[in-house]
Amino acid sequence: MFSKRIFETDFTTALNEELERRNMTVKELAEQTGIPASTLYKVTLGERDPRLSTVKKIVAVLEPERHRFIAVIAAKFLLDSFTTREVESRGQKFAVRGYSAHSLEECIVAAARAEKDGASGIICAPILASIVEKIVDVPVGMLRPELSCVDEAITAVLKKVG
């Protein structure tokens, strides 16, 4: 993820790596961003520090907002009943993408995969959230069952008990 890589290394290195990964030329990036090619060449050579407006234009091209999504990690039956596929916050739209998991190990793998896929945030069970927060660099939220769900589960177990 380009925007994350910017903070792990310097901007010039991250930009050059991303251009190479995409097999994209500076000229192509200039055409897509509207930034003069001469400016971008100076940035890629480390001769000039980019302005914030320049960084924003580059990130907008290399990480378009349409790919933003929130990952929900849950059992398949819960994901199948979930109807929300897109949410909006502060004028930005986010897709909602499900990651099926049925064990603690699968949940941890799903969280790592969601972050690698570019998730803007992850939602998971409360028992898992504290673990996931330690392994990902995106916000983590918790699924909290409604009391009626807990009551139904208690009733179902009592029927089996006796």
Task: Render pLDDT for 43-90 as a digit per residue (tens, 0 to 9).
Answer: 999 999 999 889 888 988 887 655 579 999 999 988 888 887 888 887
Any idea what the Cα angle at residue 153 is, between residues 148 and 154, rounded to 5°? 95
Question: In the prediction, which pLDDT does 108 show?
Answer: 94
Question: In the prediction, which pLDDT does 65 show?
Answer: 56
* Per-residue model confidence as pLDDT tens digits over 81-125: 888 788 888 777 888 999 999 999 999 999 999 988 888 899 999
In the predicted structure, residue 9 carries a pLDDT above the cut 90: no
Is residue 141 a contact partner of residue 8, using CB atoms and an 8 Å limit? no
